[in-house]
Amino acid sequence: MSSELELSGPSKAPPAFPCYAQDFLVSVAARPPEFVGGYFRLLCYQWTNGGLPKDRPVLRALSGCGGRVLSEILSKFDQNPDGFLRNNRLEKIRAENMAFRKRQSDNAKARWDEGGRAKKPMPRHMPVDMPSSSVFIDNTLSAPTGTDSRAPRKPRERNELLDALASCNGSDPQQVTGSAWGGIAKALAEIKAVSPDVTADEIRNRSTRYRQLHRDWTLTANALAKHWGKLAGHWTQAVVPADEPHDWLELIRESHPHLIESLNLEHRTWNNMPRHVQDSVKSAIGYAA
């Protein structure tokens, strides 16, 4: 085996690293199980040893994957000047973890003298000026008032299929919160299991069929996945045409402009709007069928 595998890990490295479950699920959405398993195994090896060797046979053995799957996994690792591969975000987490541990150690050393005696007695009661929240946020010391020690969060890499599924109920994908992406990713994985070659257009088409079939039902990513098979392209049941008012968006802009933003109308088509939103628009413009 290549000598590159004999990489010594960082001294006193923490035995565990935080796994941000929501972010991880989104990053591996619609990926096959072998990709997920191989990717996580390489992350664990990097954390333990400080980096990955660039020897592909060794990487194949470490990940349990080969061919195209291994190539896709390695796209998440960058080659560093020392010749080893690393996932940059994992190294950032390592640096934050080590800095936190050092601060804790320095604080402890500052509290005790060489003879093991406390330099300053511990308080016997809760201070009256105790801050209302913990000074620790995301493993970093809170910044002074008016500053923010945390780096801005990197925008999520756009995924056409996830965005199409997120917008099926009229939502703006740019405004979907992190807690919602997990359910959307799970729904996409279920769809990909039966339609591996699904496209964003197909997701939008079946969303429209869902609205036409079930005008009074709420459309969500989970609901679309649940009824995916019933909405296939060969579906021939007669569809009741949507009762769409003529120039409804322009009429709303003129008479009730505040509804454009509150109901997110700029990003919706009539057939992809829930029935209660359609009713609100009709009422606002005085439409009668």
Half-sphere exposure of 17 (CA within 13 A, CB side): 22
* Rounded Cα gap, residues 240 and 95, in angstroms: 59
Is the Cβ–Cβ distance between 198 and 192 less than 8 Å? yes
Query: Residue 41's pLDDT band (boundaries 50, 70, 90)?
Result: very high
Sign of CA dihedral 34, 38, 41, 43: negative
φ, ψ (nearest 5 deg) of residue 125: -145, 165
pLDDT beyond 80 at 240: no
> Taking the model in full, what pTM does it have?
0.39
pLDDT at 137: 36
| H/E run at residue 89 | helix 88-111
User: Could you read off the pLDDT of 152-189 as tens digits, one per residue?
Assistant: 556 656 788 888 888 887 778 888 887 787 888 888 88
Q: Compare 199 and 242 and report the one with higher pLDDT.
A: 199
pLDDT at 133: 43
User: Could you read off the pLDDT of 245-276 as tens digits, one per residue?
Assistant: 888 888 888 888 887 777 777 777 777 677 77
pLDDT at 75: 92
* Buried-state track 158-172, b at ≥16 Cβ within 10 A, e below 16: ebebbbbbbbbbbbe
Is the Cβ–Cβ distance between 141 and 131 less than 8 Å? no
36-45, 101-110, 269-278: which is most confident:
36-45
